[in-house]
Structure 1
Amino acid sequence: MNHHSPNHNQRLLLRLLSWIIIFAVSALTFFLGMKASLVNFSGSVSDLIVVDDDQEDFLRRINESSNNLEQLVLMVRGKNLLSLEGIKVLREITSDLSGLECLDSVTSIANLKIPRAQPFTMSNSENKRRMGICYALQHAEQTYLKVGSKVPKELIFKKGQWPTFPQFNTNDMKRALYYIDNFSVWEALPETVTEMQSFTEDVNNQVYLRNFISPDGTHAAILLAVKPQWVAGLKVVKPLETAMEKLRNRYGQTYSVVLAGNLLLQDEMKKNIALDTNTFIIAGLLLALASFWLAYRTVRGVVLPLLALIVSEVWVLGIMGCLGLHLNIVLYIVPIFILAVGSSATIHVISHFYSNISKGQDKITASVNSVRMLFLPICSASTTTAFGLAALTLSSVKGLNTFVLLTVAGLGIITILSLLFIPALNILLPEPRDRQDHKFISDRRWKPFISFLTHASIPVWILFIILGIIAGRGIFMIDTDNDLTKLLDRNSEVLKISDDVSRNLAGTTLMTLVLESVPGWAVKKDFLEKLSLLQSRLEESDKIDKTTSLADIFKLTNFLASKGNPDSRGRLPAFQYQINSHMQLFSSMEGVEGYKAFGEALRNLLTNFASDDFSTAKILIRSNLTSLKEMNTETRRTIELVREILGPHVKPRIIGGIVDVNKAVEKILFGQTQGVVLALATIFLLMLLLFFSTKIAIICILPNIFPILFFYGSLGLFAIGLDLSAGLVACVAIGIAVDDTIHFMTELKRQLEKTYDTEKAIVETEKIVGSPIILTKIVLAVLFGILVFSRFPVMANLGWLQAGTMVTCLLCNLVLLPALLARVRLISVWDILKGLNFDPTQAVVFKGMSKFAIKVFLSMGKLEDFKEGDIVMETGSPGDSMHIIIEGTARVDYHDALNRCTRSFNLSSGQVFGEIALLSRKIRKSTVKATGELKTIAITKEFFKNAEAFHPRICNRFLINVIENLSERLIGTDADCKGAEGS
């Protein structure tokens, strides 16, 4: 490569441009540095939840919302909470928490207004007896019985509408409301032991047990619904922690209070993310500094790349600040990515600068030439990595799209700083006093190393194939899973509390099993019995703590209608008319003044478990599930139970925040697989454009496949599993693996322009890029090794795995790639023609064809050498090829039937011979002999088959030129013959 040395005016211009670049970078860094201070840490997973239009429509149809309030569970533990003292404590805690601005509602058995099962009798001045909802339900049932067959007692259901109830001639149904007053529910909490016994009986049913109180009465749950504006940024945590501290101080001796829920898990993640990110950035920069010093031992070699890394981090964090983004469980990988990719690019720039300095170039020339040499590989590596990351956006997950946006922006920033900022600093800084190239591997060591690989290439292939097979086996052992709790410390107090709540009450993971069929189906007695059976079967799993459905509501109304008969506890009404009468009683309340609010509350209770037309029933599930794998297992089990118990006509679907997050993770993992394929496809196309050889492009893919095999194979072999963190970190590894291959192959292309000796070209390539590649991988292995100290167990596992992947990348690019290239022809015909000073565009057979078309066409040709006197083709031989002379001369002798030479003429550079026999498929009638050293391009039948298949337009243009050339020769021959006859 000819090095460009700028003249005086160009040097002045370069200095001016350098000052402009440094000023612009400094100003932008100052601005973005201020914005970076706005970036905080978040444990939120809301960006991972994807709700499309179809799901929104489905949620509306079943009376659900994608914006349900976040809930927390405050668990109170005491000796006996179903005592006068215990219920008083629950009421006090409930009242205190209700005053918090951050909470939308606070619900416990102390404020639920639980229906009374025992009749309550009192007399007043009007001598009226009001005995509670139990009598009202009983009266409603009797109303249905009294009408006999005169009035249809079936409810009429229409799609999307509340049912139409029977119209009785009397006001008997409304008269049932007479029995309902404030004594129908526990407006005031029990004040005597007798009342406490009745209250205990009333809460002893499936609606309240484990949802609000443990069966033994020692644990109670207070549900806290958080206002949406307090969920963002987890602002609710601080006021709740203050309130919890006050409660512990007040009741700490007798009652313990703990708080559990998804928001607290996110807050714990937030704290871990903050600690990890700060640790990684500081430790990463310090390790990078140490690595740069060991490699270069100069202030310039340490400060410049380190400064570029710091500026890149500031810019990316500043962009996040401008967009109002925070570092969460996805985005906190971005700073690690910037450090990794930035280290690689800056090391190559500094190494090339010192390499140019050691060749006698001044600082400006060295800076310019380093940019010229690295522009293509750095831009290509960034583009390839960006394409691989872009595939992740196919998952349509907002949080992942943001991750891709920031990482691609980071790639652009690193490219700009490497190719502009560092060279600008090199131009303005004083000339380096040390003129050494600072390579920590001597150039003389590369030749024997490459020679060894050339001769031992087959054993090297076999070794990597064996390792690849082992790693490939590990891929089939991968356990695809995602468990957000693995992002917490193994001894996390938050996890212990969640387990405690799940064990004593019910888990804090909320899901809903939606069952769809025809209108009215959800309140049929036979379905309710099957629904109750389904709940029992679901709760057999140790992952599901509690289920609640319409069946539990009607079990409660049946218990109330029996006036608290113990035999009816936990049983559904015996007849359909009882269910219908209970529903009509509740509906009647809405039309009577004084009962309207109570009726609407009951209707809302029913629609929590069913759609308006009762075509859909819902089972609310409280579980301790956090793992994607366990979630999928339970989902499959649930679907099978639905099919078994309810039949194939029922369409089941499970919804919930944890379900949405896990679906998003599955999309991410699928998108990441597409990213791997796209990254490999991009590097394949890039190598194809560089070498115009499919074979070489495929060879370049192999060193990038092995690190991927190692990474994914290790996930299976060492039982680490593939989850969200592993998937995102894998994208970083793939991008870096591609980077080294592009640097190697781009430099090799330059070296092949100087020599046609493949082994020599590889040696020279290693002398230039070998040391930077080794240094890059060492630095990256150390940087990723920091993850071993992560507070997240899953990230700690990935730390050593990533370090191992970096070492694998190094071995693949320094050992496998040269061993593969040693056995492949890397020089194209076009490259050789340039060295021979032969211009194919001047040859008649390439007339009217572009350089690109000629290059593509010649890439499929074969170069042949002949010595003086060699027979190139002989009379009587089959016409299986034609030749284009690129250097030397040849003589053509035509023979008659008696093999006598009848005519001869000479051929020189650019001329063609053998085309007539090739195109006519006849035996040859002439002999061609080399009259000196002869080089030709041989074009065979197979050549035309390939050209016609892949490049038909180019092939047609070439054939037209051959035919035109042949026609001109025939016309010339005919003229010669006529001239001979005339003489």
Structure 2
Amino acid sequence: MKLIANIIYKRPWIVLIGLLVTTVLLGTGVTKLETKNNQDSELPEDDPIVKTNDYLEEVFGKKDVLIVGIETENIFNKETLSKIINISQEIETVQGVIGDEITSLSTINNIQGKDWGLDVGPLMEEVPATKEEILELKKEVFSNELVIGRLVSEDATFTSIIANLDEDYDQTVVYNEISEIIKKHEGQEKFYLAGAPINSHEIDTGIQDDVNLLLPLGLLLVLIGYFISFRSAKGVILPFVVVVLSIIWTMGLMGHIGFPITVVSSVLPMLMIAISSSYGIHVLHRYYEEILTSENRKVAARETVKKIGPAVLMTGITSAIGSATLIIFKVTSIQEFGIITSLGIISTLLVSILFIPAILALSKKKGEKKSTKNREVLLNKFLLWVAAVSLKYRVRILICTLLLFVISGIGISKIRVGNDFIKYFPKEHVLRSTFNKFNDKLGGVRTMDIMIEAKEADMIKDPTFLKKIANFQKFAESQPGIGYSSSFSDIIKRMNLQMNDADPKFNTIPDSKNTIAQYLLLYSMSGDPGDFGDLIDYDYQRAKVKLFLTTSEQEEHIALYKKFETYVNENFKGEANIEFGGEVMFWLAQIRYIVNGKIQNIFLAILIVLVFCVIVLRSISLGLLSIVPLTVSSILTFGFMGFLGIRLETGTAIITAIGIGIGIDFAIHYLLRFKEEMMITNGNLEKATETTILTSGKAIIYDVVSNILGFIVFIFSGFLPIQYFGWLISLTMITVAFGSLVLFPSLLGIFKPKSLFQQKMIVVKEETPPKIIKKEMALSEESN
């Protein structure tokens, strides 16, 4: 640090020019940033669910869908039926839609038995002309199990149009074109849009809205925080410039590396506001101390770097390490967030330690006397009272903290994990209402795919095997949370029913394999065997059962999966290989990685930070003390989550890593200053505590105020996990401050670590301990 301090002292302009060039070079990376909302690449490639989904796509094809829901009092009226036909036709023109793979009342194949065989054709080729024809259509719909409850609701108030999409479709184009089509047909009906392109568009829009709203709001609030803390132009402008430069460096690095913006990393600009303001506050506050005793501003700037530099460097490295431990998660967005946050922290400490002192070294005035501020006097009195209470009631404070741990442990036991993506959005969001509508009317849109792979080709045509599939469907549909199921067995049952005059007792799988083969032959005469391509493979060896779920509770998803796994293992044992995939299984896999990763992340981060602090501080006791605030904060925060029902999922999983960065920042600044004051005061615990809390402690208070103002903007996010992140990180700031300002003095007073209480004392010629306290009190009357 001496080298950097001397460069700033002698060549501040060189430092500033270097920072400018670096900012320009890194800033070009911002133009390369892209948004990613695709969940497919979130899990490791070797994950069983990923492999199963890849296999399912290989066998049955990968086709995202676009869904249009139509609601009215009764869909069986000429106007609504006409719109169904017209919209189905117009959707064919949407770029990315596979024109001959649209399912609606006007396009779905209706299998009917005739004297000559099976007739396969559209259920509604044209709008019924008379009431009688409408009633006949309604009768046909309600007698078709492949339609009622799946394509048309049982109360006849809701229907859907489903279109398959090409793999390389453009979600923005699809969203815009389908929106124009729906707008053209507005009337008595209410329309609902769902499917992959709609979901992706809403996530992209939410991310962009967050950045546009939260970033300027966060910058404004942190400016207010600086003004409250310093009440001077330099105290506001300098740390604010550090914030801006840190954001540019971090987001530029993100663009150069090729990391996309996700729901998780969308918080990064606001997070850098808080982190960079923290470093800026500590540097600037130390400068205000040094300027009181330095001969000029350049000397004060040099001494600031020499004295605060090691603490900033140490906190920056440990904070970066804490964030880097997020790579232990096997969830891509969390790993990327950990890496880029670590790089952002390093960037921030460099900007803070170089920019502020360089500017201050060039300032024209040493400082101006200002009148005593009552606010500062009150803050000093409050801090001294905190120090006195912490030392006087040290044992009671420790007991109360342990009691809080016990209570938090109860809360931690209540933590629920996981969410599917729809719960990223508030209850009033259009996607939430859309999903709820499909759940209520058509058995849901969340899916679980079960691939049943027989040992031999053509085995799926075997009646016994097909009956087992049908029985599994019956079992699945009897479970709460399952809307309906779909498989090749449904098609065979429909054929058998229609070939036997629609007699309900024939709504079963035929007993003869030859009969099934004949039905398929008859179907091929008027229909296309490729119609079953998403349910059966060409060799009739692999079948897919698609389950539609009405619940979004992942605990229920887990319970359902376990039931289904037990059932298929018992009933298909030795006959087929069973694999579970689909959207729901993806989210369940992600839960497993988040829970396991969180446990590993906590222990790894604390262990690494502990080892690092022991090495740097050259003391096991100080190393252990340094992790107290972050440990206290983590336990209290997770207990709070449990009691309030805030789930552990992608957004909240990163709390600990950020909390560790904040906790170690406060702890190191406090401990290093306390160690310095213990040497100056010849081991006087009370005096050292008073001076420390009036210097580093005051900087921590300023830090907490400005950061909470910065983090609180997250409550305005369009994503619930980000809102929770804002509340939780603000709580983390408070609990870490408690650990540093209240618990530290108590622990130091109780345990009296040798590395602090038996260190070699230094002689101070210029001032006695009482004058030191007086000098720190004078900080309330001085600034520049």
By the TM > 0.5 criterion, same fold?
A: yes
Picking from 265, 268, 271, the partner of 1:331 is: 265
Structure 1 CA distance for aligned equivalents of residues 15 and 726 of structure 2? 36
- Considering Cα pairs closer than 8 Å and 6+ residues apart, tell me whether 1 or 2 has the greater RCO: 2
DSSP 3-state at the match of 1:519: coil
Q: Distance in 2 between matches of 1:65 and 1:400?
A: 31
Residues 36 and 317 in structure 1, CA contact (< 8 A), matched pair in contact too: yes
Partner of 1:567: 504
AA aligned to 2:624 is I
AA aligned opposite 1:237 = Y
Partner of residue 699, structure 2:
772
C-alpha distance after superposition, 1:293-332 (max 9, x if no partner): 2222221111000111012122333334445655431111
More off after superposition, 682-691 vs 344-353: 682-691
* 2:65 counterpart residue number: 71
1:638 equivalent among 564, 567, 572: 564
Indicate yes or no: 2:406 matched with 1:469. yes
SS in 1 for 2:324: helix
Bigger Rg, which one:
1
* Structure 2 unpaired stretches of 5+: 764-784
1:459 maps to amino acid: R
* 1:25 equivalent in alignment to 2:19: yes
Q: What does residue 889 of structure 1 align with? A: none
* Same amino acid, percent of matched pairs: 20
Render the CA deviation track for 1:336-368: whole Å, top value 9, x for unaligned. 221111111110000011111112342222222
Paired position in structure 2 for 1:723: 649
Deviation of the 1:416 alpha carbon: 1.1
Following superposition, the deviation at residue 277 of structure 1 comes to 3.0
Quick one: which of 247, 252, 261 aligns to 1:318?
A: 252
The one-letter code of the counterpart of 2:511 is A
Cα shift readout 1:185-244 (whole Å, capped 9, x = no counterpart):
459926787988489648843333333333455433211223344445x44322221121
Q: Secondary structure at the match of 2:555?
A: helix
Amino acid paired to 2:604: L
Determine if the alignment matches structure 1 residue 808 to structure 2 residue 735: yes
Aligned length: 754
* Contact residue 49 and residue 657 of structure 1 kept, 8 A: no
Shift in alpha-carbon separation, 1:499–1:648, aligned structure 2, 3 A: farther
Tell me how far 1:458 sits from its aligned partner: 1.4
Residue 672 of structure 1, aligned match among 558, 580, 598: 598
Structure 2 Cα separation of the partners of residues 187 and 501 of structure 1:
22
Written as runs of structure 1 = structure 2, the 5 A alignment for 1:270-669 is 270-322=204-256, 327-434=261-368, 440=376, 450=387, 452-516=389-453, 518-519=455-456, 522-562=460-500, 564-567=501-504, 570-582=507-519, 601-602=528-529, 604-606=530-532, 608-610=534-536, 616-643=542-569, 646=572, 652-669=578-595
What is the alpha-carbon distance in structure 2 between the residues aligned to residue 408 and residue 533 of structure 1?
A: 53
Residues of 1 paired with 2:658 and 2:60: CA distance?
33
The residue type paired with residue 282 of structure 2 is H
Q: Distance in 1 between matches of 2:382 and 2:129?
A: 94
Deviation for aligned residue 1:667: 1.6
Query: Distance between the aligned counterparts of 1:749 and 1:339, measured in 2?
Result: 30
CA contact (8 A) 2:30 2:255 kept: yes
Distance 1:407 1:687, change over 3 A: closer
Judge which range, 686-695 or 236-245, deviates more: 686-695
Tell me how far apart the structure 1 counterparts of residues 494 and 643 of structure 2 sit (CA, whole Å): 53
Q: Which residue type is aligned with residue 698 of structure 2?
A: S
The counterpart of 2:102, out of the listed 94, 104, 107, is 107
Residues 663-701 of structure 1: per-residue CA shift (max 9 Å, x gap): 234423432332222221123113322444434432332
Residues 1:456 and 1:746: Cα distance change in structure 2 (over 3 Å): same
Measure, in 2, the Cα distance between the counterparts of 1:791 and 1:18: 43
Q: What SS is found at the alignment partner of 1:724?
A: coil
Q: Which residue of the partner structure matches residue 97 of structure 1?
A: 91
Contact 2:124/2:137, CA 8 A, preserved across alignment: no
Whether the 8 Å CA contact 1:82–1:217 is kept in 2: the answer is: yes
Q: 1:221 aligns with which of 148, 160, 166?
A: 160
Structure 2 match to 1:757: 683
Structure 1: how far apart are the matches of 2:748 and 2:142? Answer: 78
| Equivalent position SS for 1:210 | coil
User: Are positions 1:210 and 2:149 aligned together?
Assistant: yes
CA–CA separation in structure 1 for the residues paired with 2:27 and 2:54 = 44
SS of alignment partner, residue 117 of structure 1: strand
| Deviation by residue 1:493-545 (Cα, 9 ceiling, x = unmatched) | 33223222332223222321234553365444233323223222322345222
CA, structure 1 residues 279+607, in 2 after alignment: closer, same or farther (shift >3 Å)?
Answer: closer
Q: What's the Cα RMSD here?
A: 3.7
Identify the structure with the greater helix proportion: 2
**How many angstroms apart in 2 are the aligned matches of 1:276 and 1:59?**
32
The equivalent residue for 1:694 is 620
Quote the Cα distance in structure 1 between the aligned partners of 2:103 and 2:382. Answer: 77
User: Where in structure 2 are the equivalents of 1:240-259 lying within 5 Å?
Assistant: 240-248=178-186, 252-253=187-188, 255-259=189-193
Structure 1 residues 793 and 452, CA gap change in structure 2 (3 angstroms)? closer
5+ residue gaps, structure 1, are: 121-130, 135-182, 590-594, 837-983
* C-alpha deviation, 1:656, in angstroms: 1.4
> What is the CA–CA distance in structure 2 between the aligned matches of 1:73 and 1:408, rounded to whole Å?
41
Query: Is residue 239 of structure 1 aligned with residue 239 of structure 2?
Result: no
Aligned pair in 2 of structure 1 residues 71, 717: CA closer, same or farther (>3 Å)?
Answer: same
The answer as to whether partners of 2:283 and 2:308 remain within 8 angstroms in 1 is yes
Take 1:297 and 1:82, find their aligned partners in 2: how far apart are those partners? 70
Q: Counterpart of 1:118 in 2: which secondary structure? A: strand
1:335/1:666 Cα in 2 relative to 1: closer, same or farther (>3 Å)? farther
Q: Which residue of 1 aligns with 2:112?
A: 117
| 1:262, distance to aligned residue in structure 2 (A) | 4.3
DSSP 3-state at the match of 1:823 = helix
In structure 1, C-alpha distance between the alignment counterparts of 2:224 and 2:216, rounded to whole Å = 12
1:412 partner letter: I
> Would you say the 8 A contact 2:386–2:742 is kept in 1?
no
TM-aligned CA distance change 1:57 to 1:783, over 3 Å = closer
- Structure 1 residues 809 and 361, CA gap change in structure 2 (3 angstroms): farther
SS at match of 2:68: strand
Mapped to 1, the partners of 2:453 and 2:682 lie a distance apart of 72
Deviations 1:812-860 (A, max 9, x none): 1011112112233434499757979xxxxxxxxxxxxxxxxxxxxxxxx
Distance 1:393 1:565 in 2: 59
Confirm whether residue 734 of structure 1 aligns to residue 670 of structure 2. Answer: no
State which drifts further: 553-562 or 815-824: 553-562
Indicate conservation of the 8 Å contact 1:5/1:365, yes or no. Answer: no
Cα pair 1:611 1:617 within 8 Å, conserved? yes
Instruction: Between 27-36 and 96-105, report the one with greater CA deviation.
Output: 27-36
Q: What is the deviation of 1:740?
A: 0.7
Instruction: Check 1:832–1:222 CA distance in 2 against 1; reply closer, same or farther (3 A cut).
Output: closer
Q: 1:709: Cα distance to partner?
A: 0.8
Report the Cα distance in structure 2 between the residues aligned to 1:830 and 1:471, rounded to whole angstroms: 33
CA distance in 2, matches of 1:354, 1:202: 80
Describe the shift of the 1:823–1:215 C-alpha distance in structure 2 as closer, same or farther (beyond 3 A): closer
In 1, the alpha carbon distance for the partners of 2:45 and 2:236 equals 48
Query: Would the aligned equivalents of 2:450 and 2:545 in 1 still touch at CA under 8 Å?
Result: yes
User: Closer, same or farther in 2 for the Cα pair 1:566/1:51, shift >3 Å?
Assistant: farther
Conserved 8 A contact 1:390-1:675: no
Distance (whole Å) between structure 2 residues aligned to residue 336 and residue 189 of structure 1: 55
Secondary structure of 2:659's partner? Answer: helix
Matched residues in 1 for 2:638 and 2:159: separation? 46
CA deviations 1:910-968 (Å, max 9, x no partner) are xxxxxxxxxxxxxxxxxxxxxxxxxxxxxxxxxxxxxxxxxxxxxxxxxxxxxxxxxxx
What one-letter code is carried by the residue in structure 2 that aligns with 1:728?
I
Asked whether the 8 Å contact 1:59–1:65 carries over to 2, the reply is: no
Which residue of the partner structure matches residue 856 of structure 1? none
TM-score, L = length of structure 2? 0.86
